[in-house]
Amino acid sequence: MVPGAIRLVTFVTSSPTASLLQTSEQVGTVATQSISIRDFNATRTFGSGCRNEFENERLVRTLKGLSETDSDYWTFRRDSLRAGTHGLSQYPAMMVPKMLEGLFKAIRTATQEPLSVLDPFVGSGTTLVESLRVGFDFTGQDINPLAVLLCQVKAGPFAVEKLKRSQAELLSRVRADRKRGIEASFEGLSKWFANEVAIALSRIRRSIRQEENKWVRRVFWVAVAETVRLTSNSRTSTFKMHIRSMEDLQSREFSTMDVFSKVLQNVVDRLSIEAARLREGNLLSRSGSYRGNLQIHLMDSTSAPSLRPGPQHDLLITSPPYGDNTSTVPYGQYSFLPLQWVDLKDISESIDPEMMRTAYEIDSRSLGGVRKYALDRAHGLMQFSPSIKAILGQLEGLPRDRAARVAAFCVDLDRSLERIHESMKHGALMVWITGNRRVGGLSVPLDDILVELLEARGATFLHRIQRRIPSKRMATRNNVSLTMREENIQILRSR
């Protein structure tokens, strides 16, 4: 593939191969029991299959040293600002950039320099940006078209001067447009948008379509998405679609065009800063393309993270959903209204239009979105994960949907892990950032479940770091924000 090119793979669905449920006769049971965070690091040891035990020990020693020197090191309470393209949007549950920067530094100091990074739950692209800043090849994928759009913009090519000229031309076209036709059509349009807001957004949309450069159009669509969030009738205090109070709606005063202009200027400024930073590191070509290999995929995580066969990546850093989107962070609902105003073909020519059919479609296609037969299917995972067996047993006495919700997520997570793990090189480092949500008043040990399922595939556990969450964007009105104040950074080696 030509360096600097971005490869976009459209959403596909395919039956998983060799999940633990399908290979239960070939893989032995897990020997380790479910244990507490205090004891977890002490009870796991480095496996002889790792490519370099000295490297593993040095990495763990480095990570422990950072934690012992400053018990709040991994919290980044005072250093959670989102500089450059990290601040293009207010996407849900974004990772802290400085945390990733710290992980990259520790990994590069203690181990062989990684060349290719994979984030199979890429979201808004925090891992993407940090990977570009240190010159790594990067592959990211997500099921959410809005997440993919954000990554496409952050990946460039950074045609900044062209963008600035097009910005002025776009604003002139919008101001000259006097048409009052509305460009979007979906159920609930008049509920979620005041008529004058819909007219203004339509003028912006028509004007963007006249731009010839696709990356520039994508930049404009990102600004539209944030403008929709700020001008719709949905509350911004929650990621779910909740209508504002009548008093709030009646008292709101703003100009949609002014909001868009300010948002767009912020986006352009941040892209300019990011491009200058990458150029300073000699990471961009003269045309503004990234010199490394970039791939951005729009696809389900249970589908192969790459079209090329065989292992490709030597570092995985990702933060998967902590549970099904409906009961944790509803990324699909958050994205539904913005995507109604974006030309989806600028994200992918073959995007499935059914994904936009309802506000719940993306979430229903995400991990744990389908609960039918989930309990029966999860039964086969219990021999590999004592933690799955334990939590489903504890949920038995509660309403059936509680156990089904956890079971469905675990089954889909297992399907994803097989696809992800098979794409990693032998002995590749894997960094999983996870949180333990509560269901029915019980903590679901996703950290233990994840490690157990990966160990059943031959991965080796190295270390776990517990960090407090001071600033991760979890809407205050979402119940999950009240029950999740910590997350774990888990380091493993692939088989």
pLDDT digits (tens, 9 = 90+) for 329-361: 889 899 999 999 999 999 999 899 888 999 999
Express each pLDDT in 127-184 by its tens digit.
999 999 999 999 999 999 999 999 999 999 999 999 999 999 999 999 999 999 999 9
The residue written with tokens 């995400």 in the block is: 366
CA 157 to CA 1: how far, in whole Å? 16
Q: Region 394-400: what's the mean pLDDT?
A: 88
pLDDT for residue 470: 66
- For residue 36, pLDDT over 90 is answered with no
For residue 484, what are the CA distances in angstroms to 36, 103, 123, 442?
17, 22, 19, 12
Q: Is omega for the bond preceding 157 within 30 degrees of 0, making it cis?
A: yes
The beta-strand segments (E) located in 301-396 are: 313-318
| CB of 406 closer than 8 Å to CB of 445 | no
190 pLDDT tier (thresholds 50, 70, 90): very high
Contact 116, 139 (CB under 8 A): yes
Helix or strand holding residue 483 (H, E): helix 480-483
d(CA 147, CA 334): 11
Rounded average pLDDT over 362-380: 91
SS3 396: coil
User: pLDDT, tens digit, for every residue of 73-115?
Assistant: 888 776 657 888 999 998 998 988 999 999 999 999 888 888 8
Report whether 439 contacts 406 (CB < 8 A): yes
Q: In the prediction, which pLDDT does 29 show?
A: 29
Does the structure show a pLDDT above 70 at 41?
no
Q: What is the pLDDT of residues 448-460, one digit of tens each?
A: 999 999 999 999 9
**What is the average pLDDT across 230-256?**
94
Q: Is 282 left (phi over 0), alpha (psi -120 to 50) or beta?
A: left
- The mean predicted confidence, pLDDT, of the chain is 86
Model confidence pLDDT, tens digit, residues 402-416: 999 999 999 999 999
How is the chain split into domains, by residue range? 6-144+296-328+359-493, 161-269
Residue 50, token pair as written in the block: 């790792």
What order of strands is seen across the sheet that includes strand 294-298?
6-9, 294-298, 137-142, 116-119, 313-318, 424-434, 486-493, 460-468
Single-letter code of the amino acid located at 447: D
pLDDT of 33 higher than 90: no
Q: At 360, list the tokens.
A: 């719940």
Query: Using an 8 Å Cβ cutoff, are 153 and 218 in contact?
Result: yes
Q: Please say whether the beta carbons of 417 and 79 come within 8 A.
A: no
Which residues partner with 439 through β-bridges? 442
386 vs 44: CA distance, rounded Å: 15
Q: List, for residues 3-25, the tens digit of each pLDDT value.
A: 444 444 433 333 333 577 665 43
Residue that has been written with the tokens 């290719």 in this structure: 116
The CATH number of domain 6-144+296-328+359-493 is 3.30.200.20: no
Instruction: Please state, in angstroms and rounded to a whole number, the distance separating the CA atoms of residues 475 and 479.
Output: 9
Tokens of 408: 């469905």
Residue type (1 letter), 321: P
